Amino acid sequence: MTLDILATAQLSAVIVLVAYAFINKRKPSKPSYPPQIPSFFPWIGSLVGFNYRRGEFLMNCILQYGPVFKILLCGHHLTFVASEEAIQSYLVADGLSTRTQNHSIFGLVASGSSHTQKLCAIASREFFPLLEKRLAKRTLGDVTPGFAEAFFNRLKRFANYQGSLRRSLTEPLYVASNAILLGSRFSPDTYDDYLVFDLSLPNQVSMLPFWSSPSRRAKERLLEHLAKYIEDADTDHDDSLGAILSKALKKHNLTSKEGAPMIFSIEMAAHANMFNVVFWLVTWLLADPSALAAVRDEIDKTVQEEFGGIHGFLVNASPERLQSSSFELLHSTVLETVRLSSLVLGVRDAVRDVDLKDGERVIPIRKGEYVVAMPWAAHRDEGLYPDGHKFIADRFVHNKVREDLVQNPGKPFFSFGGGKHPCPGRLLAIYELKVMAIIYFSLFDVTPVPQGYGSSQWTPPQPSPESTGTFHTTEDVIVKLRPRFDF
């Protein structure tokens, strides 16, 4: 009986939606700006295309409707801005808030918690500004000692390895980055759980229901570990970022279990984009052997001449010394990878009516609507970046972006956001990517192994059409790592 009622209700809903869509289609549409992406169904709008192949769907919208367009998703209006001027305007606009974005992040890490609201407020008022201060140019050098050695020690285990490129890069990166941010009490053995969680992220951020026991259990174990980490923090003597955050959580009367999602959200911010970018950095270099040879020559020469060899580098690899012009090609390669792997920035909600600018045109955003910026198009603008869809390792050699890596008029570089909410980890990210590349290519000859029966040639994987934020990959790369010397 109940099933009959349900089936009848579903059928009626479909009939109403189809009829509505048909009537709507027949109405002559008013010309408007920005263009609205047509969708067959009212209310749910473009949900299906958007959710299943988000990156691809958005890129197709730009190609068809231009760099500013609107879509309807489950009753919400989202305006996407992808031109340089519109993104600049989005970044500095008053009246656009990160409230919804932060809520969804905490909803993801702390599902079911009644403290999401409180955690969001503490994150944006206290924790993100604290990170910005600690990871600023002047103080970054106090945070980074130990990163290079921790990365090296973990990477050594991969000598003569044949297997996942992703693992060989992200495991040492995860361990080293946590060592400097959270200190030695945070267990490196959490890597496998974090990877399971990370790989499920594209599904988790989709608007469709997502059930996966392995990633849910991995997240629960990570949260338990973090709760213990906060519980045991030596807040009087330990001055690692993790201990400072633990102290602040206690000050806000949050139990260690209630506060764990806060540190988890910082873990996610510190690793999610890095895991993607580091993968593309090595993959795109492997796909361009002459660029790889040039980058490695630069690394070998500079490590020898300026640090006396790799062991000297491990102890003296400060952010200032890595700014040296002797690493100019590596610096350019890192920026090029970050430019090319960037798809979407954050979601903003309009807390009042806002007019954004796209050159001479005005983009009206009504209170309650959402805006999303897509650097993907601006970063491929042929007038600004010739052959912008290609990886060109030395693209930034003679044309460096500003040091703080945000908003660079004339040569847009939006990968780290900017304006009111720039990525506070941007300088750390660039530092880590450089150190990683230097150690990885100093230690190993890296050979990609062709996959598939009978294939003798390796081809790099494509960015995944389901990506969000930075590009994920469609598949891993299998590599052989042959030590270049006895370490």
Cα–Cα dist 280/274, whole Å:
10
Cα–Cα dist 317/315, whole Å:
6
Residue closer to ligand HEM (CB basis): 36 or 370 = 370
Q: How many CB atoms lie within 10 A of CB 195?
A: 19
Residue closer to ligand HEM (CB basis): 45 or 261 = 261
Helical packing angle, 256-286 and 191-199, nearest 10°: 70
Cα–Cα dist 22/26, whole Å:
7
Residue closer to ligand HEM (CB basis): 94 or 360 = 94
Cβ burial, residue 381 (10 Å; 0-12/13-18/19+): middle
Q: Residue 166, Cα to own-chain centre: how many angstroms?
A: 15
Torsion of CA 124, 125, 127, 133, to 10 degrees: 110
Q: Shortest approach of ligand HEM to residue 223 CB, angstroms?
A: 18
Binding site annotation covers 74? no
Which DSSP helix (H) or strand (E) runs through 267?
helix 256-286
Residue closer to ligand HEM (CB basis): 233 or 429 = 429
Q: Which two tokens stand for residue 27?
A: 């109405």
Q: How many CA atoms lie within 13 A of 209 on its CB side?
A: 1
The residue sitting closest to ligand HEM, measured at its beta carbon, is 425
Residue closer to ligand HEM (CB basis): 18 or 92 = 92
- Residue 4 to residues 1, 12, 13, 17, 447, Cα–Cα distance (Å): 5, 12, 14, 20, 60
Which DSSP helix (H) or strand (E) runs through 208?
none
Residues forming the site for ligand HEM (CB under 6 A) = 98, 101, 128, 131, 266, 269-270, 273-274, 277, 338, 345-346, 415-417, 421, 423-425, 428-429, 470
Sheet of 370-373, strands arranged across: 68-73, 76-81, 370-373, 347-350, 96-97
Helix (H, G, I), strand (E, B) or coil at 290: helix
Q: Residue 303, Cα to own-chain centre: how many angstroms?
A: 29
Residue closer to ligand HEM (CB basis): 176 or 230 = 176
Q: Shortest approach of ligand HEM to residue 121 CB, angstroms?
A: 13
Residue closer to ligand HEM (CB basis): 39 or 273 = 273
Q: Shortest approach of ligand HEM to residue 417 CB, angstroms?
A: 3
Q: Shortest approach of ligand HEM to residue 277 CB, angstroms?
A: 4
Cα–Cα dist 172/282, whole Å:
14
Q: Shortest approach of ligand HEM to residue 344 CB, angstroms?
A: 9
Cα–Cα dist 181/106, whole Å:
20
Q: Shortest approach of ligand HEM to residue 150 CB, angstroms?
A: 15
Residue closer to ligand HEM (CB basis): 62 or 268 = 268
Residue closer to ligand HEM (CB basis): 421 or 434 = 421
Q: Shortest approach of ligand HEM to residue 315 CB, angstroms?
A: 22
Q: Shortest approach of ligand HEM to residue 52 CB, angstroms?
A: 24
Q: Shortest approach of ligand HEM to residue 265 CB, angstroms?
A: 8
List, in order, residues 6 or more apart from 365 with CB less than 8 Å away. 79, 96, 350, 353, 354, 355, 356, 371
List, in order, residues 6 or more apart from 106 with CB less than 8 Å away. 113, 116, 119, 120, 123, 261, 265
Question: Which parts are annotated binding residues?
Answer: 423
Please state the residue numbers annotated as binding site for heme. Answer: 423
